[in-house]
A and B are shown apart, each in its own frame.
Chain A
Amino acid sequence: MERRGEAIDEEQGLIGRRPGSGAAGVAEVTPVRRTWPTVDGPHGLSEDESHAYARSYFYWGFALLPFLWAVNCCYFWPVLRKSHPSPRVRPYVMRSAIGFTIFAVVLATWSLTFIIGGERLFGPIWNDLVMYNLADKLGLTGWT
């Protein structure tokens, strides 16, 4: 009866008093709230792994990969929302969130300028930058 319970204990550390089996266990459990640093809950990472992953995702995000910052925020959502206190993971997740917000704002600004401004703003170079013209010119869709 203890398989899943033991697995959780092994992954996350001791939760609290382990209940006995059967009906006698009902009265023995102390109400202990247990949260996990990852959004996957008990199927996710442990504290140490979370720290390692949060750090590596944060640093790799600088290699023109802001999606990794988004993945960081999504993955450690409980840490971001402060429902799971984790002083080691939180700085990385916060910085990833800020980084992703800045990237999103910059990209949205550029993209909207491109779409709304169009040829009026950019001149003839707009036709060279827009994707469907570029695809036709380079023959990227020609093979299908």
Chain B
Amino acid sequence: MARENPNPNPTVLESLGEEIIRIVAPVSACMLLVVLLVTALSSDGGGGRGFSSIVTIAYSEDASDSIWDKLKDALGYSLVFVVLITLLTFLLVLLFYLRCTRFLKSYMAFSSFVVLGFLGGEVLLLLISRFYLLIDVVTFSLLLFNFSVVGVMAVFLSKVPILVNQGYLVIIGVLVAYWFTLLPEWTTWALLIAMSLYDLAAVLLPVGPLKLLVELAISRDEELPALVYEARPVEQHRPVVGRRLWRERRDLVINSSSNLIGTEAGGMTSQHTSVVVAEEGPSVSTVTDPLLQHQPGMDRGEDAEGIGLGSSGAIKLGLGDFIFYSVLVGRAALYDFMTVYACYLAIMAGLGVTLLLLAVYRKALPALPVSIALGILFYLLTRASLEMFIVQCSTNLLMF
């Protein structure tokens, strides 16, 4: 079959760009939903009084506290949280080491059900009360029940369409992130900083629990039962139909090599292609490419943090990252939309840098520190300088 070859090598923009879009789009969707929820439901625009009575047993924030008191409370609370998370992650490592996978899976299914059913129901009730939507109890309970059960099945128990799985992961991220934005302000910021430091330590230090988890998972060649978002490989949109079959296969390989590398280094591409050729396996999952690593983790023992490469070459991002990015943007939304835009751009820049580092170092990396650092920096800069500038310009009808 004589046939010209239109474009056997997709440009870097096509393959790399689409790969990045597939991880940026759900993160942006999660942040957008959290911002919408926060702006729709925030009444006192600061911290929930009721919430703090449930969670912050020993600490509570008051508007009349001095800055030092607030800082002390915030640091105390975030320290408690980080210690709790560390203990839970070590517990997870222990359970995984003892091969209690069924217990872990059922615990995670149960906690997803709680998040989707109770938190989701709570958020829906808040929306209904706020907007006086006319829904009766029968419809509401039936829909909520269906939604939660299908969600649990989609995330953990069985196979569903990939879009459904990804959608439910984003929804879980949105719900948990909204719950976190109900914390008092200083506590939220302290928590974000503490979690990024924890993430950095837990993934990179040799004694860190996340590193132990990753090594255990690799040595046993198993998947951790954790909430991880996996972007689809770029090949998905190409229909593998006969006429173009041979070309698709070559493209698939080129795409997967460029997935794993992430940047345009041409020499590395050819080297990696030869690695792929050398390791022929009966199925994708058993190709033990040294570049492919899992990055699972904690956050109440169920979410995962850090970024890594999935077994099919797709980028995997832990749900904890979704949650904390959205918490930062949601907290920025409680101040003004200006900070939202600034923090969103900062987080995307941080994510890009993390992906670049992932391509360079090719092992599991913490995705929180860079983005959270940039996000907080831009939030402070916006509040300190940009806001004044924009307000002055607007009131003098100079711009905007």
**A74→B245 contact, CB < 8 A:** no
**B136→A131 contact, CB < 8 A:** yes
**B253→A65 contact, CB < 8 A:** no
Tell me the smallest distance from the CB of B239 to a CB of chain A, in Å: 7
Chain A interface: which of B278-286, B301-309, B317-325? B278-286
Within 8 A of A (CB), among B146-180: 146-147, 149-150, 153-154, 158-162, 164
Within 8 A of A (CB), among B48-91: 48, 50-51, 54
**B2→A27 contact, CB < 8 A:** yes
Question: Does residue A75 face the partner (Cβ distance < 8 Å to B)?
Answer: yes
Chain A interface: which of B120-128, B194-202, B369-377? B120-128
Within 8 A of B (CB), among A10-43: 10-11, 15-16, 19, 25-34, 38-43
Question: Does residue B206 face the partner (Cβ distance < 8 Å to A)?
Answer: no
> Mostly helix, strand, loop or mixed at chain A's interface?
helix
Within 8 A of A (CB), among B272-324: 273, 276-277, 279-284, 287, 312
Q: How far is the CA of A44 from the CA of B284 in the complex (A)?
A: 13
**B129→A136 contact, CB < 8 A:** yes
Tell me the smallest distance from the CB of A46 to a CB of chain B, in Å: 11
Question: Contacting B133 at CB < 8 Å: which of A7, A25, A131, A144?
Answer: A131
Q: How far is the CA of A131 from the CA of B233 in the complex (A)?
A: 42
**A107→B249 contact, CB < 8 A:** no
Question: Does residue A67 face the partner (Cβ distance < 8 Å to B)?
Answer: yes
Residue of B whose beta carbon sits closest to that of A71: B160
Q: How far is the CA of A14 from the CA of B382 in the complex (A)?
A: 59
Residue of A whose beta carbon sits closest to that of B41: A144
Question: Contacting B246 at CB < 8 Å: which of A29, A130, A132?
Answer: A29
Question: Contacting B1 at CB < 8 Å: which of A29, A40, A42, A111?
Answer: A29
Question: Contacting A10 at CB < 8 Å: which of B2, B147, B164, B282?
Answer: B282
Tell me the smallest distance from the CB of A47 to a CB of chain B, in Å: 14
Residue of B whose beta carbon sits closest to that of A122: B136
Tell me the smallest distance from the CB of B234 to a CB of chain A, in Å: 11
**B161→A131 contact, CB < 8 A:** no
**A42→B138 contact, CB < 8 A:** no
List, in ascending order, chain B residues with CB within 8 A of A110's CB. 136, 138-139
Question: Does residue A81 face the partner (Cβ distance < 8 Å to B)?
Answer: no
Within 8 A of A (CB), among B170-219: 182
Counting chain B residues whose Cβ lies within 8 A of the other chain, the interface size class is: 35 or more
**B242→A32 contact, CB < 8 A:** yes
Residue of B whose beta carbon sits closest to that of A70: B150
Tell me the smallest distance from the CB of A104 to a CB of chain B, in Å: 11
Question: Does residue A80 face the partner (Cβ distance < 8 Å to B)?
Answer: no
Whether A3 contacts B146 in the complex (CB less than 8 A), given A16-B242, A132-B129, comes out as no
Tell me the smallest distance from the CB of A29 to a CB of chain B, in Å: 5
Whether A30 contacts B128 in the complex (CB less than 8 A), given A114-B136, A143-B50, comes out as no
Q: How far is the CA of A38 from the CA of B161 in the complex (A)?
A: 8
List, in ascending order, chain B residues with CB within 8 A of A135's CB. 125, 128-129
Question: Contacting B128 at CB < 8 Å: which of A2, A40, A131?
Answer: A131
Tell me the smallest distance from the CB of B37 to a CB of chain A, in Å: 12
Question: Does residue A45 face the partner (Cβ distance < 8 Å to B)?
Answer: yes
List, in ascending order, chain A residues with CB within 8 A of B250's CB. 1
Interface string of A61-80 (1 = CB under 8 A from B): 00011111001001100000
**A129→B137 contact, CB < 8 A:** yes
List, in ascending order, chain B residues with CB within 8 A of A144's CB. 48, 50-51, 122, 126, 182
Q: How far is the CA of A42 from the CA of B239 in the complex (A)?
A: 9
List, in ascending order, chain B residues with CB within 8 A of A45's CB. 159
**A3→B253 contact, CB < 8 A:** yes
List, in ascending order, chain B residues with CB within 8 A of A53's CB. 158-159
**B241→A34 contact, CB < 8 A:** yes
Question: Does residue B3 face the partner (Cβ distance < 8 Å to A)?
Answer: yes
Whether A31 contacts B161 in the complex (CB less than 8 A), given A2-B249, A144-B126, comes out as no
List, in ascending order, chain A residues with CB within 8 A of B253's CB. 1, 3-4
Residue of A whose beta carbon sits closest to that of B132: A132
Within 8 A of A (CB), among B1-33: 1-3, 5
Question: Does residue A6 face the partner (Cβ distance < 8 Å to B)?
Answer: yes
List, in ascending order, chain B residues with CB within 8 A of A31's CB. 242-243
Question: Does residue B384 face the partner (Cβ distance < 8 Å to A)?
Answer: no
Q: List 17 A-B contacts (CB under 8 A).
A: A3-B253, A3-B284, A5-B249, A15-B245, A34-B245, A39-B161, A40-B236, A41-B239, A65-B145, A67-B149, A68-B153, A71-B150, A71-B161, A130-B136, A131-B137, A135-B125, A140-B122
Q: A65-B149, A132-B128 are in contact. List 4 more A-B contacts (CB 8 A).
A: A19-B249, A26-B1, A132-B129, A144-B182
